[in-house]
């Protein structure tokens, strides 16, 4: 249903008035701290992807045979990993918090408070990290 | 009157890619930091022993089918997440073309390629 | 003590004269700590320049008509206190992401269409006759959707959402929150009719969860949550075999 | 001829207007309805209503007591058959609103909950937390979107009713966005334009409550009924006039003077805080005069104290009040008392209409706050207004649809000329006028101050006479008004001028009718005539437009059926 522009125009009314249309400035994401953090959050995808590609290479190199196998250990690589870790932590923090606030369950017909869900997300993160770290380190002794 | 009647259909492709994005995001959030920390920092610096530091341990772990499955999940799923985010990031930076079907083919296709490569590598490297 | 004043810089745009919006400054007496930005605009209109145009009515944060950008943030001007800006000037602009009709007045027809498109009314397979009395509903069932029913259509969320700013086809925060308000109402059975609108390409999937919509919402509606939950629920209906039920 | 023509045209997008539009369509699905509103419908002032809507729903309630409370509250100036019809229809309408999605607060068993309200003997006020009007308006507006027969003209300002051969055939409306004048014709027209609180300086009413519909009907020849009856609500926030709902007292809040005393024991000992608004407002004013009020930067005030209710009750039942306290006063009502003082709130008077909303002008109907169907008499009980909008909005909608189905179509010829005349008038008086030297703002502010001083809670002959004189002076100054804005696009200054024109009109009617009623009844309290005088004034005042500011006054009988007038004490 629209506001119909019909009816007799008696006065020398101007044709449909011009509006000034909105154009999004290209640098919009720098104009507000939240927008910037959002952009960083989305950008984490890139470093994380690169690091996983490295992992793929690391796996592939296991096919090189015992003599030629040499894991990466350059300073540059460590620095790269530190940077990636910062992004990874930011991704985990934002993703789990946000996912926690949108998940909704009911237990005994009562909604589970979002805080609790977020907390359990972080608990799951901690648990997964401990298990993975354990496997990665423990089996190194064999 | 002036209302443009748009065909309204549930966009199933969007739904699927969002689902993959969400799954990948969870996997990435739960698992990636610890791998980066242990394999990317602690291991190379020699602070703790890590499986991939020695050929023997690395191979014996990679030979385990469960590990292979785990690594597939760890690597493939997040790529759907990354593809989705980077595509939208391009949109945010004023490249609406990133929404087009060809762009979708490139981004999600890329994730599919990474998945296939991962499967290939996992199957061919240290076969079970 | 000399009388305190505050500088108000407001956007002026008259399509009959101007090609582009421009800014105009006014000095307004700041006589009372509880004065809001809207009071300053009203002072300008009554005593300095009657041609300044903007919308307002209730002055109590409930009619939703006085939303503007105040120093770059979308705000209800009847709820933005001068004391939070003084002694620096307060800059008032029309809401971002909308076409400007005049001065501080934006064109929100787009939202009115979107609102209608999500069918914001109770849909039932079988109408309950009036004689049968009310549908029973517990306060807990109301709690399920209460938050999403508090939307005053003030458009601050649309002004805050960059995705909407980039693409006006996007259904957007408030409309989705209202759709969810009805979908979650125990009296409503219209989910299936609303899903195609919500789930189409320019619907919920466009939202990349910037979240700023919920940050600026003056009524705690949390439209970002409404959108993500709708994505999740819609997806679950297809992914889980038992999800595909009413 | 291609002007827009409808079967039924509703002027006003508030609760009454939308309810009327839906009723017209449901009465006859072939009826085409137009709805004109000067703001988007969901901005209408109904949105501000907080406390609730009364209806005898509960098992412990009866039509009888709701009717009696209303009639006693009205100080016997209500038309009793109207009240009886009202109390019977109100529950049906509340259920209808429920079916349309209004999120009424509920009892534990899932039925609609009720709360106590001033002047009501039992709990009968249905509520949606403390945003009742907001929820009702949005529910009914959103529901209206599903009817393809309803066409909206948003942000169009009606400047004149088109009357041809003493039949109303439409309106002239200024499309605010384009500045164009349109004739919108219809076989029947329903006025639902709301209240006029903005004629006062200190009011709970929004900027749009400028009495337009009353002035439109008055100028078209309809009578305005009981315009001296203006309600003052006891609990407005000083400075802003924001309303603190009566539900705060309903839920158990105390009114305290500066000695910490619940002073109402001297005025309404049996009802205390649950007394009717007129009496409590007078009690507060008297306490102020006797030096027992707090003094603040914005005048005297009392404390409204809810601290003893506890955070839980406050958050469940009065969340918006807490929000308002926090946002507008910087206090938390859980720990601080709320400063309050009497404030103009509601207009009992309005366009003279009968139980179906019909006015004496053929094809013209009125409903909601702008109408006076005889329900509220000298004082409206809190929470009777929202159901009034529903019941009489629906009645007017049905009657108008019925009339339209047999009325002859509107002819283009005279309409064209009338449109042209009206457009020329507004252009000449405002847009093209040269040499004016007064702004609108100062005239409006002075009118508001004069009304507060002369036609407030207590009135006297001297005060009202002075008011009448000063309003005359303001009218002369208004003739010389100057408009800064020459644009046609969204010219809110022209709107403000047109509104001020209407307000000066209705303000004068209030002043003249108040001067003429030489008694105290309901909200109309004359210092010089402190008693009710049934012998001379158990009558409705009817004011008719003349060529001067002074209306022609007539009086008509009050319809009394069951309840004979008796002393009104609580
Ligand atoms: C703060 C507050 C709290 C209240 N609380 C309660 C309560 O708890 N319970 C209760 O029962 N009542 C309450 N009331 C009273 C009640 O809300 C109103 O009486 C009622 O909402 C009026 O509704 P309406 O539809 O008549 O008018 P409104 O809602 O005021 O609508 C008027 C409509 O007319 C349109 N209009 C006006 N002039 C023109 C014109 N010239 N051209 C075109 N369109 C025009 C407007 O755009 C608007 O859409 C309260 C009132 C206030 C102010
Ligand atoms: S969701 Fe919030 S910000 Fe958006 S329109 Fe509604 S009330 Fe305003
Ligand atoms: S800001 Fe926009 S992108 Fe989504 S979460 Fe809110 S709608
Ligand atoms: S004036 Fe109504 S929300 Fe600000």
Per-residue pLDDT tens over the stretch B58-82: 999 999 999 999 999 999 999 999 9
pLDDT of residue A16: 57
Q: Flag whether pLDDT at A14 surpasses 80.
A: no
How many CB atoms sit inside 10 A of residue C129's CB?
Answer: 9
Q: Are residues D382 and D428 located together in one domain of the fold?
A: no
Is A2 contained in some domain?
Answer: no
Per the structure, the count of domains in chain B is 1
Point out the ligand nearest to the CA of residue C206. Answer: 3
- From residue D548, give the alpha-carbon distance in Å to each of D3, D352, D450: 34, 21, 20
- From residue D235, give the alpha-carbon distance in Å to each of D203, D245, D338: 11, 7, 9
Range of the domain at D370: 4-224+359-412
Per the structure, the count of domains in chain C is 2
Question: Using the beta-carbon criterion (under 8 Å), do C152 and D177 form an inter-chain contact?
Answer: no
Range of the domain at B65: 2-125
Nearest CA in chain A to C167: A24
**What is the token pair recorded at B32?**
């990636």
- Cβ-Cβ contacts under 8 Å for A67 (sequence gap 6 or more): none
For residue C143, what is the enclosing H or E element? helix C139-146
This prediction's pTM: 0.94
Is C37 contained in some domain?
Answer: yes
**Pairing assessment for the beta strands D180-191 and D4-11 based on DSSP bridges:** parallel
pLDDT of residue C103: 97
**Ligand 3 atom 3, closest CA:** C207
Per the structure, the count of domains in chain D is 3
- Cβ-Cβ contacts under 8 Å for B92 (sequence gap 6 or more): A29, A39, A42, C162, C163, C166, C208
- Residue from the list A63, A80, A125 with its beta carbon closest to the beta carbon of B124: A63
Q: Write the secondary structure of D478-534 as one string of H (helix), E (strand) and C (coil).
A: HHCECCCCCCCCCCHHHHHHHHHHHHHHHHHHHHHHHHHCCCCECCEEECCCCCCCH
Is C244 contained in some domain?
Answer: no
Per-residue pLDDT tens over the stretch C142-169: 999 999 999 999 999 999 999 999 999 9
Residue A1: pLDDT band (50, 70, 90) is very low
Q: Are residues C77 and C121 located together in one domain of the fold?
A: no
CATH of the domain at C210: 1.10.1060.10
Q: Are residues C93 and C203 located together in one domain of the fold?
A: no
CA dihedral D411, D412, D416, D422 (to 10 degrees): 40
Q: In whole angstroms, what is the distance from residue D292 CA to residue D288 CA?
A: 5
Is D395 contained in some domain?
Answer: yes
Q: Are residues D206 and D131 located together in one domain of the fold?
A: yes
Q: Are residues D340 and D364 located together in one domain of the fold?
A: no
Q: Are residues D169 and D51 located together in one domain of the fold?
A: yes
Phi-psi label, residue D129: left if phi above 0, alpha if psi -120 to 50, beta otherwise: left
**Cis preceding-peptide flag for D66 (omega within 30 of 0):** no
CA C216 – ligand 3 centroid, Å: 11
pLDDT of residue D3: 62
Closest CA to D211 of D447, D526, D8, D463: D447
Helix, strand or coil for residue B96? helix
Q: B110 and B83 in contact (C-beta within 8 Å)? A: yes
Range of the domain at C116: 109-239
Q: Flag whether pLDDT at C55 surpasses 60.
A: yes
Q: Are residues C30 and C78 located together in one domain of the fold?
A: yes
Q: Is any Cβ of chain B less than 8 angstroms from the Cβ of C201?
A: yes
Q: C56 and C65 in contact (C-beta within 8 Å)? A: yes
pLDDT of residue D317: 87
CATH of the domain at A102: 1.20.1300.10
pLDDT of residue B122: 95
Per-residue pLDDT tens over the stretch B20-36: 999 999 999 999 999 99
Q: Flag whether pLDDT at D177 surpasses 90.
A: yes
Q: D188 and D404 in contact (C-beta within 8 Å)? A: yes
Q: In whole angstroms, what is the distance from residue D316 CA to residue D309 CA?
A: 11
Q: Flag whether pLDDT at A68 surpasses 90.
A: no
Q: In whole angstroms, what is the distance from residue D22 CA to residue D172 CA?
A: 23
Residue A5: pLDDT band (50, 70, 90) is very low
Q: Are residues C99 and C139 located together in one domain of the fold?
A: no
Q: Of D319, D345, D371, which marks where a domain is finished?
A: D345
Per-residue pLDDT tens over the stretch D53-97: 999 997 889 999 999 999 999 999 999 999 999 999 999 999 999
Tell me what percent of chain C is helix, strand and coil, each rounded to the nearest 5. Answer: 40, 15, 45
pLDDT of residue A2: 34
Helix, strand or coil for residue D170? strand
Q: Are residues D420 and D323 located together in one domain of the fold?
A: no
pLDDT of residue D239: 86
CATH of the domain at B28: 1.20.1300.10
Nearest-CA distance from A15 to chain D in Å? 8
- Residue from the list D95, D100, D484 with its beta carbon closest to the beta carbon of C122: D100
Token pair 């090189």 is at which residue? A64
Q: Are residues D111 and D21 located together in one domain of the fold?
A: yes
Q: Are residues D425 and D436 located together in one domain of the fold?
A: yes
Q: Are residues D62 and D164 located together in one domain of the fold?
A: yes
CA C10 – ligand 3 centroid, Å: 27
Q: Flag whether pLDDT at D150 surpasses 90.
A: yes
Q: Are residues C118 and C231 located together in one domain of the fold?
A: yes
Residue D322: pLDDT band (50, 70, 90) is very high
Q: Are residues D368 and D464 located together in one domain of the fold?
A: no
Beta bridge partners of C16: none
Q: Flag whether pLDDT at B2 surpasses 50.
A: no
Q: D368 and D388 in contact (C-beta within 8 Å)? A: yes
What is the sign of the dihedral through the CA atoms of B124, B126, B127 and B128?
A: negative
Range of the domain at A105: 28-63+73-141
- Cβ-Cβ contacts under 8 Å for D434 (sequence gap 6 or more): none
What share of chain D in percent tops pLDDT 90?
88
Token pair 């507006």 is at which residue? D141
Task: Give Cα B69 distance to the centre of its chain.
Answer: 14
Point out the ligand nearest to the CA of residue C171. Answer: 3
**What is the token pair recorded at A22?**
């909105």
- Report the nearest atom of ligand 4 relative to the CA of C57: 1
Q: D478 and D499 in contact (C-beta within 8 Å)? A: no
Helix, strand or coil for residue C76? strand
Q: Are residues D250 and D278 located together in one domain of the fold?
A: yes
Question: Using the beta-carbon criterion (under 8 Å), do A49 and B51 form an inter-chain contact?
Answer: no
Helix, strand or coil for residue C108? coil
Q: Write the secondary structure of D444-489 as one string of H (helix), E (strand) and C (coil).
A: HHHHHHHHHHHCCCEECHHHHHHHHHHHHHHHHHHHCECCCCCCCC
Q: Are residues C29 and C87 located together in one domain of the fold?
A: yes
Per the structure, the count of domains in chain A is 1
Q: Are residues D46 and D183 located together in one domain of the fold?
A: yes
Is D508 contained in some domain?
Answer: yes
Tell whether ligand 1 has an atom less than 6 A from the beta carbon of residue D193.
yes
Q: Flag whether pLDDT at B5 surpasses 80.
A: no
C:82-101 residues touching chain D, CB 8 A cutoff = 101
Per-residue pLDDT tens over the stretch D332-364: 999 999 999 999 999 999 999 999 999 999 999
pLDDT of residue D277: 93
Question: Using the beta-carbon criterion (under 8 Å), do C166 and B94 form an inter-chain contact?
Answer: yes
- How large is the average pLDDT for residues D103-109? 95
- Residue from the list A46, A63, A129 with its beta carbon closest to the beta carbon of B125: A63
- How large is the average pLDDT for residues D244-266? 94
Closest CA to C5 of C55, C60, C51, C47: C47
Q: Are residues D10 and D156 located together in one domain of the fold?
A: yes
């Amino acid at each position: 249903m629209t506001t119909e522009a019909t009816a007799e125009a008696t006065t020398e009314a101007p044709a449909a008035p011009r509006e000034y249309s909105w154009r999004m400035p290209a640098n919009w994401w720098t104009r507000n701290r939240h927008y910037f953090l959002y952009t960083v959050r989305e950008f984490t995808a890139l470093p994380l992807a690169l690091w996983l590609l490295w992992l793929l290479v690391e796996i592939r190199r296991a096919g090189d045979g015992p003599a030629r196998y040499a894991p990466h250990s350059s300073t540059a690589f460590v620095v790269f990993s530190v940077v990636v870790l910062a992004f990874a932590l930011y991704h985990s923090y934002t993703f789990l918090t946000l996912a926690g606030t949108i998940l909704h369950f009911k237990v005994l017909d009562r909604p589970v408070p979002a805080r609790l869900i977020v907390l359990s997300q972080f608990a799951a993160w901690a648990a997964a990290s401990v298990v993975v770290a354990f496997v990665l380190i423990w089996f190194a002794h064999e | 009157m002036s209302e443009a009647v748009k065909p309204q259909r549930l966009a199933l492709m969007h739904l699927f890619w969002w689902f993959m994005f969400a799954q990948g995001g969870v996997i990435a959030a739960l698992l990636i930091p610890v791998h980066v920390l242990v394999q990317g920092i602690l291991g190379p610096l020699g602070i703790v022993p890590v499986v991939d530091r020695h050929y023997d341990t690395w191979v014996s772990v990679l030979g385990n089918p469960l590990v292979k499955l785990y690594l597939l999940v760890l690597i493939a799923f997040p790529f759907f997440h990354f593809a989705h985010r980077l595509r939208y990031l391009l949109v945010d930076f004023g490249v609406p073309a990133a929404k087009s079907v060809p762009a979708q083919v490139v981004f999600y296709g890329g994730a599919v390629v990474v998945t296939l490569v991962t499967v290939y590598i996992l199957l061919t490297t240290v076969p079970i | 003590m000399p009388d305190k004043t505050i500088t108000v810089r407001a956007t002026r745009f008259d399509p009959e004269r101007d090609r582009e919006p421009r800014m105009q400054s006014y000095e307004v007496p700041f006589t009372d700590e509880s004065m809001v930005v809207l009071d300053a605009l009203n002072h300008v209109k009554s005593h300095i320049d009657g041609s300044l145009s903007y919308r307002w009515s209730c002055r109590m944060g409930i009619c939703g008509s006085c939303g503007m950008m105040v120093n770059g943030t979308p705000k209800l001007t009847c709820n933005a206190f001068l004391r939070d800006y003084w002694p620096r000037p307060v800059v008032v602009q029309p809401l971002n992401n909308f076409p400007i009709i005049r001065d501080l007045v934006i064109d929100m027809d787009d939202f009115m269409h979107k609102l209608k498109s999500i069918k914001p009314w109770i849909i039932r397979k079988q109408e309950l006759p009036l004689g049968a009395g009310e549908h029973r509903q517990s306060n807990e069932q109301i709690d399920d959707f209460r938050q999403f029913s508090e939307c005053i259509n003030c458009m601050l969320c649309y002004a805050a959402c960059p995705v909407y700013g980039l693409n006006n086809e996007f259904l957007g925060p408030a409309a989705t929150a209202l759709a969810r308000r009805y979908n979650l109402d125990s009296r409503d059975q219209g989910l299936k009719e609303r899903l195609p609108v919500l789930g189409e390409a320019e619907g919920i999937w466009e939202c990349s969860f910037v979240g700023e919509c919920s940050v600026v919402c003056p009524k705690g509606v949390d439209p970002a949550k409404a959108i993500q939950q709708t994505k999740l629920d819609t997806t679950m209906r297809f992914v889980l075999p038992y999800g595909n039920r009413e | 001829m291609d002007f827009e023509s409808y079967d039924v045209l509703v002027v006003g997008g508030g609760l009454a207007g939308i309810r009327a539009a839906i009723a017209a369509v449901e009465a006859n699905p072939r009826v085409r309805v137009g709805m004109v509103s000067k703001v988007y419908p969901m901005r209408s002032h109904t949105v501000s209503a907080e406390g609730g809507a009364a209806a005898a729903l509960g098992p412990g309630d009866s039509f009888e007591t709701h009717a009696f409370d209303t009639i006693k509250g009205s100080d016997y100036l209500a038309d009793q058959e109207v009240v009886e019809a009202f109390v019977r229809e109100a529950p049906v309408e509340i259920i209808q609103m429920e079916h349309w999605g209004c999120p009424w607060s509920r009892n534990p068993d899932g039925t609609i909950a009720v709360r106590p309200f001033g002047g009501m003997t039992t709990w009968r006020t249905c509520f949606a937390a403390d945003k009742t009007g907001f929820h009702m308006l949005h529910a009914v507006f959103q529901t209206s979107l599903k009817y393809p027969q309803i066409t909206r003209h948003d942000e169009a300002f009606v400047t004149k009713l088109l009357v041809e051969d003493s039949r109303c055939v439409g309106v002239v409306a200024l499309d605010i966005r384009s500045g164009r004048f349109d004739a919108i014709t219809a076989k029947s027209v329903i006025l639902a334009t709301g209240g006029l609180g903005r004629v006062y300086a200190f009011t709970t009413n929004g900027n749009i409550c400028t009495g337009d519909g009353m002035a439109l009907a008055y100028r078209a020849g309809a009578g305005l009924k009981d315009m001296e009856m203006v309600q003052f609500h006891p609990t407005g926030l000083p400075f802003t006039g924001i309303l603190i709902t009566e539900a705060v007292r309903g839920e158990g809040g105390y009114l305290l003077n500066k000695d910490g005393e619940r002073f109402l024991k001297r005025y309404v000992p049996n009802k205390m805080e649950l007394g009717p608004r007129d009496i409590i407002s007078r009690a507060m004013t008297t306490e102020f005069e006797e030096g027992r009020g707090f003094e603040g930067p914005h005048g005297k005030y009392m404390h409204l104290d809810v601290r003893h209710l506890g955070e839980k009750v406050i958050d469940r039942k009065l969340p918006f009040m807490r929000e308002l306290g926090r946002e507008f006063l910087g206090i938390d009502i859980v720990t601080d008392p709320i400063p309050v003082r009497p404030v103009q709130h509601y207009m009992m008077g309005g366009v003279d209409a009968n139980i179906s909303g019909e006015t004496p002008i053929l094809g013209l109907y009125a409903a909601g706050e702008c109408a006076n169907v005889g329900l509220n008499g000298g004082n409206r009980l809190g929470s009777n207004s929202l159901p009034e909008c529903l019941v009489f909005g629906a009645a007017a909608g049905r009657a108008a649809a019925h009339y339209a189905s047999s009325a002859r179509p509107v002819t283009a010829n005279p309409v064209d000329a009338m449109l042209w005349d009206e457009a020329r008038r507004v252009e000449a008086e405002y847009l093209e006028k040269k040499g004016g030297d007064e702004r609108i703002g100062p005239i409006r502010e002075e009118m508001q101050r004069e009304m507060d001083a002369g036609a407030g809670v207590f009135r006297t002959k001297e005060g009202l006479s002075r008011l009448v004189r000063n309003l005359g002076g303001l009218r002369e100054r208004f003739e010389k008004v100057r408009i800064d804005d020459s644009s046609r696009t969204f010219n809110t200054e022209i709107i403000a001028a047109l509104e001020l024109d209407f307000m000066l009109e209705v303000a004068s009617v209030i002043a003249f009718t108040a001067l003429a009623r030489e008694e105290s009844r309901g909200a109309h309290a004359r210092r010089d005539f402190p008693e009710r005088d049934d012998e001379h004034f158990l009558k409705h005042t009817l004011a008719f437009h003349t060529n001067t500011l002074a209306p022609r006054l007539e009086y008509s009988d009050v319809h009394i059926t069951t309840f004979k007038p008796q002393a009104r004490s609580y």
